Amino acid sequence: MSDAQEQSRAQKLIGDFLPKMVSLTDDVLFGDIWERKELSKRDRSLITVATLVAGGNTEQLVGHLMRAKENGLTETELKEVMIHLAFYAGWPKAMSAIAVAKRVFGEE
């Protein structure tokens, strides 16, 4: 990678620690899977946010909430996902996700 090329988020977070995971993240996940035309990026973001909320993976939720907005989801739609998932994934997981979303949406 040249000095002029900006590092990916994965490179910044774990590049020195685990380069193979960076490669899989950048090349396979975001370079291939996210670029497939069978689903829109908006749909992929909706699925990803719902999966992260359902799994209680709030650390990963921050970046994906921002990405979801970039991919066309509104704050209202993302909030509605959390309300809906409170009943299917569990109240504590939804409440934790809401706390993250409140911080993320408040930063912008």
Domains and CATH numbers, the chain: 7-36 (no CATH), 39-107 (1.20.1290.10)
Q: What is the mean pLDDT of each run of 10 residues along the chain (108 residues)?
A: 73 93 96 97 98 97 97 98 98 98 86
pTM equals 0.88
Interacting residues of 100 by C-beta distance below 8 A, sequence separation 6+: 58, 61, 62, 65
How much is the pLDDT for 2?
A: 46
What is the Cα–Cα distance from 41 to 89, expressed in whole angstroms? 23
Long-range own/partner contacts, residues 52-56 (CB < 8 A, 24 or more apart): 52/97, 53/81, 53/82, 53/85, 53/89, 53/93, 53/94, 53/97, 54/85, 54/88, 54/89, 54/93, 55/93, 56/92, 56/93, 56/96
How much is the pLDDT for 5?
A: 78
Region for residue 56 given its phi and psi (left: phi exceeds 0; alpha: psi -120 to 50; beta: otherwise): left
How much is the pLDDT for 87?
A: 98
Q: How far is CA 80 from the centre of its chain?
A: 16
